[in-house]
Amino acid sequence: MKQEIRTLLEDSLPLVDFDSDFLFAELDSLGIAQILMSLSLKYNIPLGAKDVTPKNFKNLDALVSLVESKKNK
Amino acid sequence: MDLNDYIYKFAQETPDRLAIVTPTEQITYGELWDHISTNGAILEQQGVRPQEAHVFRASQSINFITTYCAVHFNHAVAVPLEQSTPQEVFDGIQKETNHHVFPKGTADLLFTSGSTGKAKGVMLSDTALTTCAENFLHHHPYTSDLVFIISGPLNHIASLFKIHPTLMAGGTVCVIDGLKDINAFFDVFRKFPDRRFGMFLVPASIRMILQFSRDQLVEVADKIAFIETGAAPITKSDMAELASVLPNARLFNSLGGTEIGCVCTYDFNDGKYMAGCVGRTMYHSHIEINDEGTILISGPTLFTGYFKNPEQTASVLRDGVFHTSDRGYFDEEGNIHLLGRSDDAINVGGFKADPIEIENVVMTLPYVADCICISAPHPIAGTCIKLLYMVKEGQTCTHRDVALYLKSRLEAYKIPTLFEQVESIKLTYNGKKDRQYYKQ
């Protein structure tokens, strides 16, 4: 799943370094919205502004965990 | 009276009233006036002279606003550049403006995208800034108990020009760093439980809030006095949805620009939610539409000219009338409706990017044979920039290579969102890029 998410997000946000541990700092509001939309559509999970925390957007692993936790609910 | 006169007045009358807040700092009118006069003295020591430019980076901070006011306090010209401006561009503007003596009364020099591949310096007078603020004070409910939330970059007029009416009304400016942390945006409402709020949000931000934070918006609905939008088209459905979530707030869609200030506004609480409508002319402004459908604007909010570019000034500003690139018409009630632009600028979340400027930078990449920047639909921003590029035979590159190169040479909003490697670029019969073809 990690590679799938990486490919999905790198394609829509080519400027963002998804190997970074400071992903939240790298993104702007449109980038955040793009990630929420892409993951929500791809995995059919509800994602909203309350999910946008520095912890959930720390790095790619944190995003994978967020998706997994939403899918398991 | 200009902005500093009002700040001085409130510093005398209500020194303890909050003037500016950020998530980490706050300053009263009394303190603000002290900071402005102190910073004014420091700038003078640093050699900032009346009618000369002071180039600095815009940041979402109290320090930026006090510096901006201090430059005016010294009768110098504020040149705030976007925070992400590459150092090479910053140095170039500093060099070009160094020791230049601007016409008396010039307050700001704001850089905006040009149609010739080079950013234009827009010169604005004290009068333009004050009368633009008076337009807002006349038509929008700015009051002394208002907290006006500024989330956009402070070098952009949609944000910068909201400082003036808010402080001239004795209200509080609240500066946050974008809407990335949407929870920080909603924290502002909790921080001031007894205040009313106003804000400017580009349509992309409204779409984002409605899509991802609708519940939070409902929770604070009664605290919102008004929301103004503009700088890009807002859809009829977003107008209607916003009005249903905020039944007691006043909602405006305005027409403005760096060269013109804010000149007309549409109160879309009328239930009609007319997409493309920017309402009636504001207090200080006058609008006509010529036989070709081009919107012509006059009044004291207009700029005085482009920096060191009289030819370009004359091409749009003649006999005190500004010839926009917007086409439109008046309806029977005197409302102006926009029909689109007659130039190639691409509107990205309220920023107008010049495709030629971006293409010129792309063409400096050694492996690119040709390219074109076009407008593409985007689910949040409405439109975004898409770069189509051809790679020279035998060469390879990734979208990321191109994006990173552009990032080092252009402001963030000019970086395309979408990239596509293509085999050819469609040209017109005389060999120019066929922009009309890609607009279809």
- Dihedral sign computed on CA atoms, order B46, B160, B83, B34: positive
B16-69 residue pLDDT tens: 999 999 999 999 999 999 999 999 999 999 999 999 999 999 999 999 999 999
The verdict on a CB contact (< 8 Å) between B349 and A30 is yes
Tens of pLDDT along chain B (440 residues)? Answer: 999 999 999 999 999 999 999 999 999 999 999 999 999 999 999 999 999 999 999 999 999 999 999 999 999 999 999 888 888 889 999 999 998 999 999 999 999 865 445 678 999 999 999 999 999 999 999 999 999 999 999 999 999 999 999 999 999 999 999 888 888 899 999 999 999 999 999 988 999 899 889 999 999 999 999 999 998 888 899 999 999 999 999 999 999 999 999 999 999 998 999 989 999 999 999 999 999 899 999 999 999 999 999 999 999 999 999 999 888 999 999 999 998 777 778 888 778 888 888 998 999 999 999 999 999 888 787 888 999 999 998 988 888 889 989 988 888 888 898 899 999 998 887 777 888 888 76
- For residues B260 and B367, state if they share a domain: no
d(CA A21, CA B6) in angstroms, rounded, equals 46
∠ CA B206-B381-B252, rounded to 5°: 35
- Residue A33 to residues A30, B30, B206, B340, Cα–Cα distance (Å): 5, 40, 12, 27
Closest CB to A15 among B178, B379, B404? B404
- For residues B99 and B243, state if they share a domain: yes
Q: Total structural domains in chain B?
A: 2
Domain containing residue B399? 346-439
Which amino acid, residue B114?
G
**CB within 8 Å of chain A, chain B residues 90-129:** none
Name the phi and psi angles at B285, rounded to 5: -110, 160
Domain end position, chosen among B341, B366, B390: B341
Nearest CA in chain A to B179: A29
DSSP B41-61: HHHHHTT--TTSEEEEE--SS
DSSP B235-272: -HHHHHHHHHH-TTSEEEEEEEETTTEEEEEEEGGGS-
CATH of domain A2-71: 1.10.1200.10
Domain end position, chosen among B341, B375, B400: B341
Give, rounded to a whole angstrom, the gap between the first and last alpha carbons of chain A: 17
Cα R_g (chain B), whole angstroms:
22
Residue B407 near chain A (CB below 8 Å): yes
User: Which chain A residues touch B398 with a CB distance below 8 Å?
Assistant: 14
B311-365 residue pLDDT tens: 999 999 999 999 998 889 999 999 999 987 777 788 887 788 888 889 989 999 9
Q: Could you tell me the CATH number of the domain that includes residue B218? A: 3.40.50.12780
Residue A3 near chain B (CB below 8 Å): no
- Give the list of residues 6+ apart from residue B427 with CB closer than 8 angstroms, or none: B433, B434
Residue A7 near chain B (CB below 8 Å): no
Residue B183 near chain A (CB below 8 Å): yes
From the list A13, A20, A27, A35, the residue with the least C-alpha distance to B399 is A13
Q: Which DSSP letter does residue B163 get?
A: H
Q: At what angle do helices B236-245 and B203-212 cross, to 10 degrees?
A: 60
